[in-house]
Amino acid sequence: MDEQCGGKLGVKHGQCGACAGVYRRCGRQAGPAEGEVTPLARHLQAKIRTVGPITVAEYMKEVLTSPASGYYMHGDMIGERGDFVTSPELSQMFGEMVGVWLYSEWQKVGAPRPMQLVELGPGRGSLAHDILRVFARLGAGGEGGRGERPALHLVEVSPRLSDLQAELLCPGDSRAAPGEAPHYREGTAPDGTPVRWHRALRDVPRRFSCVVAHEFFDALPAHKLQKTDEGWREVLVDVDPGGAPGRFRFVLSRSETPACKLFIKPGERRAHLEVSPESCVLVQHLAQRLRRDGGLALVVDYGHDGTKTDTFRAFRRHRQCDPLVAPGTADLTVDVDFSYLRGCAGDSLMLGPVSQASFLERMGIHTRLQVLLGSCRPEQREGLLAGYRMMVDPDQMGECFRVMAVFPSVLRDHLARFPVAGFPPPPRAAAA
């Protein structure tokens, strides 16, 4: 597999030239106790012995979201005590910049109401918490506090993470939703914002939506395809017959699989591809919602624009580890192919991807940092600076993370007159 960048705190970004030194310094392999056989490993081995090797996409889905022992379902994996750290956990400035972007673009299209904020995969709720604070400070409830307050809708499958989100966003005021409701949990934030939890985007009500997906697409199941002398073959996961109990191995399919026939484009030059059809379906649904009901979206993830090959990896305790060892105890991730997402979005207007550093600087994060430094306590200063550096430095998150905006195509002319914040303006058409 390609050399990957582990990051100083287990940030889950992929290989880039500036990251190599960080990887060599701290990206060491971190494994579980020798001989550990997890319940999920036993389940997967029984399944493979019954039906044969499974796709990497199926392996990822089982490992991450299996109801009984999936990685995301029952633990708190984010932060210094977990397996990786995210930008919203590093600093409030990240959420503030995203909140300002959402509010600004909503205003540019006339601030239609009713409006709802939607986050896909909200982690511990830190990003949503900061966005709500920005919207409240900017008067999103209407002039003088009048008008319908935007509701917050969270798309979350993990019971444990939804508990953590509720503790932060709706302290003491969340409950199971009525049986007939399209959401499974509901609550009210201290400022009066209604909060609803859904298991899928399709369950979120139809209305103008400001959608954000931060480190969401990287965890969606992906197929791995390999070019061989006999043609394209799919990389599968099999039981390792010569390894220790609970160990797995990669094997190649004996012939073309449906994924090989569906996802290989003519003229493909790469010898190894990772394709996530679940991501494509989600982007198609998102584009249809924005076109039908109005709205806009921001996607932030580590990834590439159709250039990378083998990026499938795992993280445990802030270090990269073997994704086939002790399934269910480590996060699995694949770099997002933004060119693939763009191709799935139809005629939607897609801006970017641009680097996270470029986006945050264009949104004014440096100015915000100076304001916070001027009012913080001495013991907070280094934390603010460290968080800022980690988010924007090219050898940390700054270049490995990418940002893409999505708008319905009907807004193309409008956005040409009122350029989108955080992104370079589109090139002007050549004069006749």
Q: For the chain, give the secondary structure using H, E and C.
A: CCCCCCCCCCCCCCCCHHHHHHHHHHCCCCCCCCCCCCHHHHHHHHHHHHHCCEEHHHHHHHHHHCCCCCHHHHCCCECCCCCECCHHHHCHHHHHHHHHHHHHHHHHCCCCCCEEEEEECCCCCHHHHHHHHHHHHCCCCCHHHCCCCCEEEEECCCHHHHHHHHHHHCCCCEEECCCCCCCCEEEECCCCCEEEEECCHHHCCCCEEEEEEECCHHHCCCEEEEEECCEEEEEEEEECCCCCCCCEEEEECCCCCHHHHHHCCCCCCCCEEEECHHHHHHHHHHHHHHHHHCEEEEEEEEEECCCCCCCCEEEECCEEECCCCCCCCCEEECCEEHHHHHHHCCCCEEEEEEEHHHHHHHCCHHHHHHHHHHHCCHHHHHHHHHHHHHHHCCCCCCCCEEEEEEECHHHHHHHHHCCCCCCCCCCCCCCC
* Among the listed residues 278, 248, 327, the one whose alpha carbon sits nearest the alpha carbon of residue 66: 327
d(CA 269, CA 336): 18
Query: In the chain, what percentage of residues exceed pLDDT 70?
Result: 87
Does residue 428 sit within a domain? no
Q: What is the mean pLDDT of residues 393-398?
A: 93
Question: What residues contact 228, with CB distance under 8 A and at least 6 apart?
Answer: 252
Give the pLDDT of residue 82. Answer: 61
Q: Which two tokens stand for residue 131?
A: 């966005």
Q: How far is CA 350 from CA 283, 338, 409, in A?
A: 11, 10, 9
Q: What does the pLDDT average to over 50-67?
A: 96
- pLDDT at residue 84, rounded to an integer: 67
**Among all chains, which residue has been given the structure tokens 């305790």?**
317
Reported as a pLDDT band with limits 50, 70 and 90, residue 77 is low
- Flag whether 85 is in a domain: yes
Residue 9 falls inside a structural domain: no
What is the pLDDT, as a whole number, of residue 393? 96
Asked whether residue 199 is assigned to any structural domain, the reply reads: yes
Contact 332, 247 (CB under 8 A): no
Q: Which residues pair with 84 in a beta bridge?
A: 78
Token couple for 263: 């996802």
Residue 338: name the closest of 295, 279, 391, 393 by CA. Answer: 279
CATH value at residue 370: 3.40.50.12710
Cβ atoms within 10 Å of 62's Cβ, excluding its own: 21
Whether residue 216 lies inside any domain: the answer is: yes
CB 184 within 8 A of CB 199: yes
Please, are residues 208 and 116 in contact by the beta-carbon 8 Å criterion? yes
> Once rounded to an integer, what is the mean pLDDT over residues 12-29?
33
Of 131-135, 268-272, 373-377, 422-426, least confident by mean pLDDT is 422-426
- Give 43's Cβ-side CA count (13 Å radius): 15
Q: Is residue 184 part of a domain?
A: yes
Count of domains observed in the chain: 1
For the chain, the residue count is 432
Q: Is residue 432 part of a domain?
A: no
Within-domain flag for 136? yes
Gap between the Cα atoms of 199 and 67, Å rounded: 13
| Tokens (6 digits) for 126 | 């830190």
Judged against a pLDDT cut of 60, whether residue 413 lies above it is answered with: yes
Q: Which pLDDT does position 15 carry in this prediction?
A: 38
Q: How far is CA 183 from CA 75, 136, 195, 199, 394, in A?
A: 22, 24, 10, 7, 40
Asked if the model's pLDDT at residue 250 lies above 80, the reply is yes
Task: Say yes or no to pLDDT of 429 above 80.
Answer: no
Containing domain of residue 246, as a range?
17-417
User: For residue range 308-328, what is the model confidence (pLDDT) as tens digits?
Assistant: 989 999 998 878 899 999 999
